[in-house]
Amino acid sequence: MKISPQWVREFVDLTVDDRRLAEDLTAVGIAAEGISGSGADTVFEMEIGTNRPDAMNHYGVARETAAIYDLPLKPIEPKLPSAAKAASSSGSSGTAEAVPFPITVEEPQLCPRFTARVLRGTRIQPSPEKIARRLQLLDQRPISNAVDATNYVLWEIGKPTHVFDLDLLEGGKIIVRKAKDGEKLKTLDGVERKLTSEDLVVADAKKPVGLAGVMGGYDTMITEKTRNVLIESAWWDPVTIRKTSRRHALHTDASHRFERGADFESTVLSCDRVAELILESGGGELGDVVDVVSKRMDQAPVVLRVSEVRRILGGNLDAAQMFRILKKLGFELIPEGQADAYFRVRIPSWRLDVEREIDLIEEVARLHGYDKFQNTLPAYSGAVIELPDAAKEATLRKRALALGYNEAVSLTFISHADAEEFSSAKVLELENPLSEEASVMRTSMAPGMLDMLAWNLNRDSEDVRLFEMAHVYELSASGERIEPRRACLGATLTAVKGSLPAGAVLDVSKGDQATAAEAFRSFKGDVENLLAAFECDNLTFDRQVAEYLHPGRSARALLNGAPVAQFGQIHPEVAAARKLRQDVFLAEIDLERLYQQGLRKAQFRPLPKYPAVERDFSFIFADSVSFEQMQKAVGHLRLGELRDFQPVEIFRGGAIGAGKYSILLRATLQSAERTLRDDEIAQWSAKIVAALQGLGGVQRT
């Protein structure tokens, strides 16, 4: 929002310049993010927290300014003709009838206070130059003296008001009620809105004339023909206004403030201020104040202990300093106890955000100045204790970063549909979800990772590698809530281009099968790299994976026989349903099981003195035979000199029949004690061939 420092100076006699004022306001939490203009046209770009509607206006900022510099704050006292006598009503009926203009409040819980004034015989014309200029500085378009008066008061004291053309209110009365299902109201923006019984409206005797706390009605708006005006200022239930605003997708300056809690005691003042401005420019006869109070909104006093202030802030503030700061902000303090040991603090009506003692302590701290407190460390005895798995987690994170993955954070909530698709665990449902898309706690990291990959792909960022380490949330068989840790990797097909063999052609648009298979093997290598950081006697893989993964390009990793991860390409149907613009790969690692293993210790091995010998074996196998089976068959030979056994090439098609594939396998043989003889190598090679033939393989010559 925008604030004019020149306007603020009307309420506080300041001696500092605008730049110093902006810096000092920022230091106390009323942040001035930027300054534009010069002289009388200077404007602050303010960032006011949502819990501080009291500071979303010039008088609120002036109050903060007066407290900062310990200066008097000038009161706002509208100068009105003395002929009008206040007429008020209070009680359960919420009706003021023995007054010139009757008002009935049928929903006193939602509108505990409704104040109005009538002006007769006024002239609707352009606003005075001062008012119009100030509104323009705040990017507000001047309309007329009556309408501009309400906008001026909104930005001056923060209280939204509204003006009706009195002659267009049928039945000569105002009724605050719930709308009827199907009723229609054309709001000031020219849009006809269909109302429901959940909407709170201001109505005349026959129809709604305003959407309470949000926007007035078109049919009773002020025009050049208007001569008689009804000024309205009320206090509305924040939750009701928030729901109405969201339901009609109508966010206004008024609803923004009412949603956060307006000043209950400012309804009469704001009405009088609007009346004063209209009378100054348009003249007219002032009517009585009609103030319907159904329920008071007094806040309970809060006890502030001097000892607690010093304990938390660690400073040597005395009671007099605390008293001065809070009094300047509008708080009323009543000393109690010996030597002012504590105060009973009455909260001003405009500070709905202050409810507890700690809130008052925060007010003291920010106005005294955070920079004035001595830097101290909290009292502590003992040694720093590292979290149990901190080293393992740091190692995993370093490896993922080294592989080119960027750490990301996804939402903790997912939909019921995602929970069913990506996990079989029992879900934890939220009692008050924001939407169906975020109605349960996540049971898998996969939905969040896929959403992040899709978000990047939809913004033309195709080379994406992400990882996340966090908790998932489940219900155990006994009904207890558990929060196991998981790690998730995600990568697009484009991202693995640099990992593919030299000469591989990447054709993402055509979904090249060979490229996708190579990419899967590359992605599998990333998973193996992460698992290799941990001690393991036996790392194996099988194909028992979740249905959301591609059946031919996915696997499960087993560490010493226990499943620890599943990974692979996302199933084409899942990718299509989530509108992924290219193939993506995903891995989910069970950190609870992985962390049961210790970190692998680096060990030094001298380079061998004797040369290694490589032998290649070309075989044809049925598609049902996996490399893992070949590896196990050769491993059972227990050849002490066999250092490595890896696939080099895989080929399908051509002269190779359907349901079969050709594979080139390479065995590396080496001794640490001598040079190997040809007859030994031939003997071991024959054993390898025999083992592979035992799996049904046919050796190619």
Work out whether the CA dihedral 451, 455, 460, 466 comes out positive or negative: negative
Cα separation, 225 vs 228, whole angstroms: 9
* Predicted local distance difference test score (pLDDT) of residue 94: 52
Domain count, the chain: 5
* Predicted local distance difference test score (pLDDT) of residue 510: 38
Cβ atoms of 157 and 266 within 8 Å: the answer is yes
**Domain boundary at 264, 293, 322, which?**
293
CATH code for the domain of 623: 3.30.70.380
* Percent of the chain residues topping a pLDDT of 90: 75
Q: CA 526: distance to chain centroid?
A: 31
pLDDT-derived band at 633, boundaries 50, 70, 90: very high
Cα–Cα distances (Å) from 472 to 297, 522, 594, in that order, read 43, 27, 16
Q: What does the pLDDT average to over 147-170?
A: 96
Average pLDDT, the chain: 90
Query: Residue 84 pLDDT > 60, yes or no?
Result: no
Query: Residue 96 pLDDT > 60, yes or no?
Result: no
User: Do the bridges between strand 174-178 and strand 103-105 make them parallel or antiparallel, or are there none, so unpaired?
Assistant: parallel
* Predicted local distance difference test score (pLDDT) of residue 317: 79
Three-class SS of 195-254: CCCCCEEEECCCCEEEECCCEEEHHHCCCCCCCCEEEEEEECCHHHHHHHHHHCCCCCHH
* Predicted local distance difference test score (pLDDT) of residue 697: 94
Two tokens at 377?
């460390």
Residue with tokens 């990568």: 491
Query: Residue 225 pLDDT > 70, yes or no?
Result: yes
Question: Does the residue 47 lie in any domain?
Answer: yes
**CA angle, 301 as apex, 297 and 305 as ends, to 5°?**
160
Regarding whether 34 and 99 lie in a shared domain, the answer is no
Per-residue pLDDT reduced to its tens digit, 647-693: 999 898 888 999 999 999 999 999 989 999 999 999 999 999 999 99
Regarding whether 317 and 171 lie in a shared domain, the answer is no
Q: What does the pLDDT average to over 380-389?
A: 80
Regarding whether 584 and 435 lie in a shared domain, the answer is yes
Two tokens at 652?
């399908």
Cβ atoms of 508 and 493 within 8 Å: the answer is yes
Query: Residue 166 pLDDT > 90, yes or no?
Result: yes
Regarding whether 61 and 96 lie in a shared domain, the answer is no
Count of CB atoms within 10 A of residue 243's CB?
15
Domain that includes residue 652, residue range: 613-699
Per-residue pLDDT reduced to its tens digit, 257-308: 999 999 999 999 999 999 999 999 999 999 989 999 998 888 889 999 988 9
Count of CB atoms within 10 A of residue 263's CB?
23
Least confident of 85-99, 362-376, 390-404, 567-581: 85-99
* Predicted local distance difference test score (pLDDT) of residue 512: 57
* Predicted local distance difference test score (pLDDT) of residue 539: 86
Per-residue pLDDT reduced to its tens digit, 552-601: 899 999 988 899 999 999 999 999 999 999 999 999 999 999 999 999 98
CATH code for the domain of 258: 3.50.40.10
* Predicted local distance difference test score (pLDDT) of residue 514: 64
φ, ψ at 612 (rounded to 5°): -90, 155
Regarding whether 199 and 99 lie in a shared domain, the answer is yes
Higher pLDDT among residues 378 and 276, named by residue: 276
**CA angle, 185 as apex, 180 and 191 as ends, to 5°?**
140
Query: Residue 511 pLDDT > 50, yes or no?
Result: no
Regarding whether 329 and 459 lie in a shared domain, the answer is no
* Percent of the chain residues topping a pLDDT of 70: 94
Question: Does the residue 350 lie in any domain?
Answer: yes
DSSP string, 650-699: EE-STTSPTTEEEEEEEEEE--SSSPPPHHHHHHHHHHHHHHHHTTT-EE
Regarding whether 220 and 342 lie in a shared domain, the answer is no
**Domain boundary at 236, 267, 293, which?**
293
Per-residue pLDDT reduced to its tens digit, 512-541: 566 788 889 899 999 999 999 999 878 888
Regarding whether 557 and 426 lie in a shared domain, the answer is yes
Two tokens at 130?
């001062």
**CA angle, 254 as apex, 276 and 137 as ends, to 5°?**
65
Cα separation, 658 vs 228, whole angstroms: 92
| pTM (2 d.p.) | 0.62
* Predicted local distance difference test score (pLDDT) of residue 319: 85
Regarding whether 99 and 208 lie in a shared domain, the answer is yes
Regarding whether 396 and 259 lie in a shared domain, the answer is no
Cβ atoms of 304 and 342 within 8 Å: the answer is yes
CATH code for the domain of 581: 3.30.930.10
Higher pLDDT among residues 343 and 98, named by residue: 343
SS3 398: helix
**Domain boundary at 559, 594, 629, which?**
594
Query: Residue 361 pLDDT > 90, yes or no?
Result: yes
Per-residue pLDDT reduced to its tens digit, 332-342: 998 887 766 88
**CA angle, 63 as apex, 58 and 67 as ends, to 5°?**
145
